[in-house]
Structure 1
């Protein structure tokens, strides 16, 4: 094939299909713009309608995917591709992909189950799959957690729907459990009073909830206290670190001593 034949073939292709390709490209760009604006509108309307915020990201993702598929079919029609055949091919390809991506289908089903039975909601503090964080979004296939150190953890919905999940904030309140040991020579009443002072002055401890200071273990050189402080889930770490730091300060201030280390030596012979 010589150069002239190639030029002629290219010219004929442009003449026959150039307009359709340009029109399809314009339709695709306009369609993507409309879908973006429509997604924002739907999101705003769902927020105004007070639709469960757990469901909002899921529905928005589903609608966006459907609109994009419709846009692709429309562009294929503009190009002259037979859409019925295209849909049949797409369906067969979807079946093959579905069989290959059974895990993704399990994640989709898991997302539906999570939204129906609501073991947790957006904003809840949960522990799952070895991670602890606040639920930022429940998407079609994954759930997003934000950890206390501001990392985003992506967890598959399939594992979440079938595995164990601890909803830390499910009851609205949480108890911070800590253990402190002091030397056995310290007065019991004096030690409990020092701990009570810290608990009473903790800004994140609930004032209308009874907190526990209990002797949990006795040893020859040490006494251990269980300290249980009630707070809101969002204040868990603030409460934990406040009590630990101020217990040390209060013990130093009141002269409460730490357990003495004993070394037991056995002499043979």
Structure 2
């Protein structure tokens, strides 16, 4: 039955799997019981699967948090093959990518509701993610006051993605495509940079950026902070940027260099505040 709790050994780590309103969720608990149950939600990038995040979840659990991941909309156990969903989205990022972003934003809300009620976690959530998972993190940070710290990695707050080059052909600029009405709905509702008013009281966020990233150029995040500063200077001050520099530091290179930024990000992100 899909709603049964299952203990699984994946890549040498024990995790628990559950289905939450049709969303496949895995999570890893700390080895020792904690005084308070705290949640850190971590999401993959486009074409990723939740199981690939287990090393991240294990590190989160080592810090005393429940590390939780789920498959993005149309990803993993929710439908499409990794290569298929990635190829489809890159044929028309706006038509096929915006619904993945928007539907997953809504799914985050469902999963957090479930985690608070069924896992008994505190309603102060740490959230982060890689690439598209980071885009979703930035979005949710503007609409859900339960997010207390955000950790977007090589992500953008602008769903138009100006200056986006092909992920696999970094010498070729990518045609972002044209959305249909369905896709446009998600952009109009959720695109962070066109809803700056939602970030007046945003939580602190620590953004990992690649100096040479031409798939998600750092300028996207820099422009967001600059525009936010003109309206809400204190909110802009809560956005911390960490640049991974040198060559290679394009989009996929940053993931491969995680030993340079992951531990420092964990130190900043998972702060055990007592409310």
TM-score range, shorter chain: under 0.3
Higher helix share: 1
TM-score (norm 1): 0.25
Mark the structure with the bigger radius of gyration.
1
